[in-house]
Chain A
């Protein structure tokens, strides 16, 4: 069964705006990862945040983790058309990843 659940399921924004998506999960984790998937392609790793970390940045990406609420968020700032993709959170427990169903982000030019 899939542990992570992303919200919203779909998001449409204008180029230059910020995009925020959330992930909730149910059990303990070692770390939480975010991946991007372009249509017809494999997943690409974006960022990993460990269970003892609260926030992490990578370029235009900002990830937060709240283990007390069992939730994470991914913020993409100053979005570009190339950010159009599906975004998945994946929880790592016992060296196995469980993926959510993803958030589909469309960036309009």
Chain B
């Protein structure tokens, strides 16, 4: 089966600019996750979707981050405006259902200048 696809792989922007990341989960996976992984740390959950509804966004900085999952398939994560502390790898994952093992994409490495 095809894995979780993410694009772009790398992005460099200046602070206060905006950026968007795209994720295509494994076909048939109902649950989709976005994580932020800062260098040297484990992934931190930003938002979790079940089909196209938000299950948990308690750790999403909603003043600058937004995410949507259209038609319960692809998802986009946006940051506007970016801050220096947003430099990280943004990982997308999906699972058949919640509480199932998660399958991760290779992430987007974001650098803020």
Quote the shortest CB–CB distance from A63 to chain B (angstroms).
Answer: 13
- A2 and B42 within 8 A (CB): yes
- B91 and A43 within 8 A (CB): yes
- B104 and A42 within 8 A (CB): yes
Alpha-carbon distance A2/B36, docked complex (angstroms): 12
| A3: nearest chain-B partner, CB-CB | B42
Interface size class of B (residues with CB under 8 A): 20 to 34
User: Is B75 on the interface with A (CB-CB < 8 A)?
Assistant: no
Interface size class of A (residues with CB under 8 A): 20 to 34
Given contacts A30-B99, A96-B48, contact A2 B41 (CB under 8 A): yes
B 84-112 to A, binary, CB cutoff 8 A, 1 in contact else 0: 00000001010000110111111100000
B 20-59 to A, binary, CB cutoff 8 A, 1 in contact else 0: 0000000000000000000011111100100000011000
Quote the shortest CB–CB distance from A53 to chain B (angstroms).
Answer: 15
CB neighbours of B13 from chain A (8 A):
none
B-side binding surface: helix, strand, loop or mixed? loop
A-side binding surface: helix, strand, loop or mixed? strand
Alpha-carbon distance A43/B43, docked complex (angstroms): 9
- B99 and A99 within 8 A (CB): no
Alpha-carbon distance A88/B102, docked complex (angstroms): 13
User: Is B4 on the interface with A (CB-CB < 8 A)?
Assistant: yes
CB neighbours of B4 from chain A (8 A):
42
CB within 8 Å of B: which of A15-59? 30-31, 33, 35, 40-45, 48
CB neighbours of B41 from chain A (8 A):
2, 101-102
Q: Taking beta carbons and an 8 Å cutoff, which residues of A are in contact with B? A: 2, 4, 30-31, 33, 35, 40-45, 48, 88, 90, 92, 95-102
5 A–B pairs (Cβ distance < 8 Å), ordered by A: A45-B103, A95-B98, A99-B43, A99-B44, A101-B42
